[in-house]
Structure 1
Amino acid sequence: MTVPYLNITGPGNILGPGIGGIDGAGGIGGGGGGGGGVFACGEDRRRGADKPEDDGTCTDTGAGGTPATNAVTRRTESGLGDLVAGFTYNLLDHKPSGLVFDITGRIKIPTASAARGLGSGKLDYAVQGDLIKSISQFSVFTSFGYRILGDPSGVIFHNVFYGAAGLGYKLSSTSLLGTSFNIGQSPLRLQDSRDLSVYFTHRVGENFRFNVYGLKGFSERSPDWGSGVTLRYVF
């Protein structure tokens, strides 16, 4: 279960990461925060919506039905994000080969403020598979998932696929350093998001996981950069 505190700087039509951000792809130890904010202007309200290269400038309404003049104004908002709860089931743990396969289900409960653009105000769901291969102190992983997204006011979101691949190094029995490359479809059928994250995870006792990450975006639909600190409780 994750309850993030967000600080977002960008155009007014950017929503908080929701189910695809801090708790996003990253199979090893709940790695980096793949995915950033979501550009939330309805497809039929974008100038040149039939052109994939369009800059997405709103001509009518933006996130939460706000006027376009507010939607594109750069702003900073902070506050509690959406609560994300997940359940992971281990389907394969083959010690001779070092192969592990987990499947995870997640639900995003809309606790973030939709009026301030910190969330969509709707329930989201996701299912994700993680395949991990351990080689000595290293772990190689790949993740693939599908998100079912609720529609914010005045915007139609498509459900999306996402994935990640990365490498982790076990510093000790309780600490892990890793990196992952994350990619995800746009819920508005715009350019895919792509980012590279680096993370450090430390197990505190049996139930707590401390995680620090940073990321760099590589597409127009990704954040320029991002960072975060999380403390998880694992049942």
Structure 2
Amino acid sequence: MGHLFIRTVVACTLSAASASVFSAPPGLLMTYSFDSLSGKFGQPTETKARSFTVGATLVGEGYRASLFVPYISLEGPGTLVAGTVTGNAGPARRSEQGLGDMVATYTKDLIGGIQTKGFALSATGLVKIATGNEDKGLGTGKTDYGLQADLAYRFNNGFGLTAVIGRQYYGDTPQLRLQNGNYTAVGVNFPLGNSLFINLNTSERDELLAGSPKRKERAISAVYALSPTTALQFGYTTGQSTASPDDVLSISYVSQVE
């Protein structure tokens, strides 16, 4: 769920992983991310998209509330939909830019928390707000929703196992018959020293359009603590099906507002 144009799972995980790395107390985390995505998505012409996203995450006792606002540059025939691209038959040479769809999330810890050893369980609600211009392919012009359960088990040595199970509900559009669908992700994460945190995960989502393959992706990211209240994240995602992007590169800077 996770990369973002806004890849909601990764966005939520970034805040949690960063807080875990530099042990930030409750407060406000600001995230500044640059992402670059490319792929054909079943079309003869490649679509490229780049985004700069500003995110704010309020970390409280047992909850996290986030808002992510992207500015996007899009080249090619695709249309951005909730962090991925569909093979929409837009102009092959289209080049657009502007505000993308904002994403708001709220996570509630049910068992344990983001810095808890042992088992942890949380529930997350996500809303994609239709702020991207659908005529430019920067969004669908509809509001989407998602619900997910986040599971984790962290050992005393810092090694962790994670799993996400969720479902997305898409706003219906005449041009794109988007299908509601389930998604899953499993991963491992572990520290390398006191400042570096590695995440590996694989994810799968149901088909976005009728007759299209499932979206399958693998990702690796590293979170490096620059100080007790700042961190950098570097990420790379590769697609495992024609419905997924070929490559996604990302870099994020996270800072706690004191």
Long gaps (5+) in structure 1 = 22-35, 41-61
- Pick closer, same or farther for the CA change 1:123–1:96 going to 2, 3 Å: closer
Q: Pick from 79, 93, 115: which aligns with 2:112?
A: 93
Identity over the aligned pairs, expressed in percent?
25
Q: Tell me if 1:15 matches 2:76.
A: no
Per-residue deviation at 1:151?
A: 2.2
TM-score w.r.t. structure 1 length? Answer: 0.68
Per-residue deviation at 1:198?
A: 1.2
Q: Tell me if 1:133 matches 2:153.
A: yes
Per-residue deviation at 1:93?
A: 1.3
User: 1:104 is paired with a residue of what secondary structure?
Assistant: strand
- Pick closer, same or farther for the CA change 1:226–1:97 going to 2, 3 Å: closer
TM-score w.r.t. structure 2 length? Answer: 0.63
CA deviation vs aligned residue, 1:127-183 (integer Å, no higher than 9, x gap): 011110112221111111000101234222111101111111124666522111111
In structure 2, the partner of 1:2 is 68
Q: Which has the higher strand share?
A: 2
Q: Pick from 212, 224, 231: which aligns with 2:234?
A: 212
Q: Tell me if 1:122 matches 2:142.
A: yes
CA distance in 2, matches of 1:81, 1:127: 21
User: 1:163 is paired with a residue of what secondary structure?
Assistant: strand
Q: Is the 8 A contact 1:17 1:38 kept in 2?
A: yes
User: 2:131 is paired with a residue of what secondary structure?
Assistant: coil
CA distance in 2, matches of 1:128, 1:2: 18
Per-residue deviation at 1:122?
A: 0.8
Task: Calculate the aligned-residue CA RMSD, in Å.
Answer: 3.0
Q: Is the 8 A contact 2:208 2:214 kept in 1?
A: no
Moved over 6 A (4+): 94-97, 203-209, 232-235
In structure 2, the partner of 1:194 is 216
In structure 1, the partner of 2:19 is none
- Pick closer, same or farther for the CA change 1:119–1:226 going to 2, 3 Å: same
How does 1:1-235 map onto structure 2 within 5 Å? 1-10=67-76, 12=77, 14-18=78-82, 21=83, 36-40=84-88, 62=89, 70=91, 73=92, 75-93=94-112, 98-135=118-155, 136-171=157-192, 175-189=196-210, 190-201=212-223, 210-230=232-252
CA distance in 2, matches of 1:99, 1:15: 39
